Every structure is written in structure tokens, then in C-alpha cells.
Amino acid sequence: MGILELYLAEQSQHLLDGDSMRRSEVAYMRIKDALQHAGLEPGEPLSEPQLSKMLGISRTPVREALQQLAQEGLVQVIPGRAVTVASRSVQDVLDVIHMRSLLEPQLARLAAESASEQQRKALGDCMDEMEAALAPDDYPAWSKADVIFHETMRKACPNPLLGETVVMLRNRVHHLAKTDSRRNPARLTACTAEHRRIVDAILKRDGKEAEEAMRDHLMILRENMVNKLI
């Protein structure tokens, strides 16, 4: 049983909880979650029939989910040939990080100024979970907290388009950044500290500090990705 099959098997208990969700939406959420947390490598093939079997649903909603994930840049569809976990050229990665460096510091500033008390608490809880995951080297737990962190930042931004754009950009190269962090405990610890600085600024409602902390984090991310890819 492969990594993807194991991961989806663990999640299958909750697959069809609630009839309000369309099966394509369920397939989208489960496959996306696996792409973010199951440790799949760029270029790894994804079989539509196998995914359908693992998820226990027909191929049509799986195909629709893969098409949506392709639009978000998480998978690559080669017509008539294959679907794979998305891989990126060096230039692709640099372009995405450049766009994030232009937009995400502004998102952090707006989040610091506009986040609700519930959202601030959620960010604080995410940091507690990230830090707790460091000692046992529990990367899956860290990664899930990181996803919640970015989703909470998106929701805290009063400009929905800005928030959605930043998350979309992050998802395009997230699998490359997480591969580096998963194999580099020192980098994971440093990355956690960078997140903590951002969250502390948001909790203090210090927009300027949140903006600077996010800009510094993205600069370090760029340096690490360049060292990894070149």
C-alpha cells in the first residue's frame, strides 16, 4: 500500500459525513489534503481509477476534483497521458515567491489591524500546535497547523481577493517548501520562529511589525528555495 493510499485510508472514515457536500467537493478536499500532508513528491503520478477506488466514489467527481486542483497549480494534467503532483521550474518558484513578497506582507498588516478575537485565538493556537510538533519531529501535525495558519490569515484579511490570491500562490509551490522543511529539522524550527514573530505582531495589533515579519520570512524562504533548486 503506497503513501497516498495509506493516507486516504486513514481519512476515509470521515469521507461522506454529511450529505450537504457534493462528491466532487469531498474528493477535492481529500485529495488536496493528501497533497499537502501525505509526503508526495513532485512529479509523482496520480491514478484517477485508483483514487476513485481509495475514496469509494465514482471517477467523474474524482476527475472534476483533479481539474480544480490543476487550476490551483497543485497537480499537472497531461492530456491523454497522466496526472501528476505538480513540479515547478526554478523560475516558476522564484516568480511565485516574488508575487508573495509583494502581496503577503500587506495581507499580514491588514490581518493585524482587522482580525477578530476568534481569529487571533486561532492563530495563537496554531503556533502552540506548531511548537508542540517540533520536539517529537511530528511534521504532519506541524504541516496541518501551518495550513490552518494560512487559512486563518486569509479569513482575517478584509480584502477577500488578496487573501485568496495569496493562498493560491502559496499552494502552487507549497509541496517544494514542505519537502525541504520535512527533511531539515533546523529549518523547521527556524520557520516556526518566523511564524511566531508574525503571530505575536498580529496579537499586538501591530500592523507594521506583522508586515516586516512576513517580508523577512519570505526573504528567508526565497533564499532556502534558491539553495535547494539551483
Same domain, 110 and 20: no
Q: Do residues 41 and 2 lie in contact, with contact meaning Cβ atoms separated by under 8 Å?
A: no
Contacts of 59 (CB under 8 A, 6+ apart): 48, 49, 52
Same domain, 101 and 212: yes
Q: Report the CATH number at residue 213.
A: 1.20.120.530
Same domain, 22 and 115: no
| CA–CA distance, 82 with 12 (Å, rounded to integer) | 24
Same domain, 106 and 60: no
Q: Report the CATH number at residue 64.
A: 1.10.10.10
Ordered per-residue pLDDT tens for the chain, 230 residues: 455 655 565 555 444 444 445 888 888 888 888 887 676 777 788 888 888 888 888 889 998 999 888 887 788 887 776 888 877 777 888 899 999 999 999 999 999 999 999 999 999 999 999 999 999 889 889 988 998 999 999 999 999 999 999 998 887 776 656 555 566 888 899 999 999 999 999 999 999 999 999 999 999 999 988 787 66
Same domain, 81 and 97: no
Same domain, 45 and 9: yes
Same domain, 39 and 101: no
User: Which residues form the domain of 203?
Assistant: 90-229
At residue 58, φ and ψ (nearest 5 deg) are -70, 170
Residue 187 host element (H or E):
helix 185-203
Same domain, 141 and 167: yes
For the chain, what is the domain count?
2
Structure pTM? 0.73
Same domain, 100 and 209: yes
Dihedral angle, C-alpha 73, 78, 80, 81, nearest 10 °: -120
